[in-house]
Amino acid sequence: MSVLNQSVFLRRLAPVIMLAAFVAACQEEGPDQVAEAEAALSAQPRPAKIFTVSDQVGLQSRRFTGRVEAVQTVDLSFQVAGKLVELPVRESQEIDNGALVAKLDPTDYERAVREGKLRLKQAKQDLDRLETLRDRSVISQKSYDDQKNEHDLAVEALAAAEQNLEYAEIHAPFDGIITRRLVDSFTTVSVGTAVVRMQDVSEIQIDINVPEALFAKVSEDQVASLHAEFPSIPGQEFPLVYREHSTEVDTVTQTYRITLAMESKPDAQIYPGMTAAVIVKLRPEGLDLAKSLLVPTSSVAVDGDRKAYVWRFDESSSAVTKVPVEVGVVTGDYIPVTDGVAKGDRIVSAGVAQLSEGQTIRPLP
């Protein structure tokens, strides 16, 4: 190559050499961007699904349509006849035990009491007189005994008259509500004629009809919880307790009646005759949820020593802690844990094999 051509070649090659040297210098002095990105990614909390341990997990839910019933419903009536002169109660009125419900005209019954008292007074005087004569042997013992019977009959007659006077009034037999007035004031009523209908609403009872197949299969131990929901009170649940059940099947629907109860709620406006949805939560057959809690199968991992564990999430530090657990037999998507977790614990439910002690995580929605 001539000297001229060599000079031209070197001039053309110089920018390439300078660029290569600049790139090399940048690679030697500049930071490793890939390594920094990986380090930054590992420092960020790992997203993870969180499961809250509860004794309601794994329960089977059954829904029934129920009807609100009173504890008892009675039609109140008089035990004597007469004209109704007082009917102070109104329909839907709540009354206390012993309050006056209705009253008959007491004139005839008060007269009978006065007559009874006079007859008893006269019989007592005659008895005292004959007792004196008997003691003097003026009359026979039989004469005295006959008068004694007259006196005793007068006592019973007065008691009956006083009782009839009491029967001329009806008083509430319990705390309850008047649901219907069956007669009007000033009506002449006979013995046994229903005057008002009254219901005991000291508690709210709900009747449901359970199919015979379910009734025969489910035991009391399997029932985990009972609650009622009312269309008129959306968003609220009312706990229920068992009261009784029928042992005779309905021949038409082939169902058994079960009566449940809840506390009376004056502010809730729940009355007999209303409909309710009853939700029954059942424990899986053969699983004692009283001694174990169900957690997702994906939340349990096994270490090298074949020991099961879960990762408990600490919300304050966003870190996880390895917790050994005792587990039972897998039942579908859940596995029973008999030791190691408690209600309310929050555990990681997916990707547990990729976690480490103290690692921070970010709960997924």
The chain-wide mean pLDDT, for the chain, equals: 85
Residues spanned by the domain of 23:
3-43
Residues 215 and 357 reside in one and the same domain: no
97 pLDDT higher than 60: yes
pLDDT digit string (tens) for 1-51? 554 455 544 455 455 445 555 545 555 555 555 555 444 445 578 888 899
Find the CATH number of the domain harbouring 307: 2.40.420.20
Mark which of 256, 282, 308 sits at the end of a domain: 282
- CB count within 10 Å of CB 240 equals 24
Mark which of 173, 198, 223 sits at the end of a domain: 198
Mark which of 216, 250, 282 sits at the end of a domain: 282
> What pLDDT shows up at residue 72?
92
> What pLDDT shows up at residue 44?
73
pTM of the full structure: 0.60
Residues 172 and 87 reside in one and the same domain: yes
Alpha carbons within 13 A on the beta-carbon side of 240? 30
Residues 132 and 240 reside in one and the same domain: no
pLDDT digit string (tens) for 272-319? 899 999 999 887 765 666 677 888 888 898 888 888 899 999 988 889
How many independent structural domains does the chain possess? Answer: 4
Residues 140 and 163 reside in one and the same domain: yes
Evaluate whether 272 touches 259 at the Cβ level (below 8 Å).
no
Dihedral angle of Cα 68, 74, 75, 76, to the nearest 10 degrees: -140
